[in-house]
Amino acid sequence: MTTPRAIWAEDDPVDRILFERAIRKSGAALDPTFVDDGQELLDLLSGVGRFAGQGPANDVGLIVLDLNMPRMDGRMLLSRLQLSADFRRIPSIVMTTSPARPDVLACYDLGANSYITKPRSFEALVQVIRNIDSYWVNTCVLPAA
């Protein structure tokens, strides 16, 4: 099985470090690439901007995104992903600090496949990463497979 490439749209550098450490500690078969916001994620998928010359990213199996980011937030990103026949096929997991019901409903309305409230402890984050790996990598067939 190939390791799926997971694009993480997260603007907080501390959260990025925690995600990287949690992925390593969990033993998850995820190959994360981190971007700062929704616009950078779209640029990576399309092979434009600072990703020009790399061509479209056809190897992305999973998108994990925060809701509150600069330039393009998670809600706008989800709506933009839905406009592309190729991008809307990539499963999108919202991982954010907001447990607010309106945020949850809006994200599912915009095409999110999962909504996870960021855990408060590192060990809980490791378990969430294991769960993502178990379901999205070891159970599901991803579009980039």
Please give the Cα distance from 82 to 79 (Å, whole number). Answer: 5
Task: Evaluate whether residue 74 is within a structural domain.
Answer: yes
pLDDT tens digits for 83-92? 998 899 999 9
**CATH number of 114's domain:** 3.40.50.2300
Task: Evaluate whether residue 115 is within a structural domain.
Answer: yes
Task: Evaluate whether residue 144 is within a structural domain.
Answer: no
Four-residue CA torsion sign, 98, 100, 102, 107 = positive
81 half-sphere exposure, CB direction, 13 A CA radius: 31
From 48, 40, 37, 38, select the one nearest 13 (Cα to Cα): 37
* Domain count across the chain: 1
Q: What is the pLDDT of residue 145?
A: 56
Q: What is the pLDDT of residue 55?
A: 65
Task: Evaluate whether residue 143 is within a structural domain.
Answer: no
Q: What is the pLDDT of residue 54?
A: 76
Average pLDDT value for residue range 108-132: 97
Q: How far is the CA of 51 from the CAs of 35, 37, 142, in angstroms? A: 11, 14, 23
Q: What is the pLDDT of residue 94?
A: 98
pLDDT tens digits for 39-77? 999 999 998 888 887 767 778 899 999 999 999 999 999
Q: How high does pLDDT run on average in the chain? A: 92
Which structural domain, as residue segments, surrounds residue 123? Answer: 5-137
Task: Evaluate whether residue 11 is within a structural domain.
Answer: yes
Please give the Cα distance from 57 to 53 (Å, whole number). Answer: 11
Average pLDDT value for residue range 109-133: 97
Average pLDDT value for residue range 107-132: 97
Task: Evaluate whether residue 145 is within a structural domain.
Answer: no
Q: What is the pLDDT of residue 59?
A: 83
Q: What is the pLDDT of residue 102?
A: 96
The secondary structure of 37-75 as a DSSP string is SHHHHHHHHHT-GGGTTS---TTEEEEEE-SS-SSS-HH
From 79, 75, 57, select the one nearest 66 (Cα to Cα): 75
Q: How far is the CA of 66 from the CAs of 52, 100, 104, in angstroms? A: 24, 14, 12
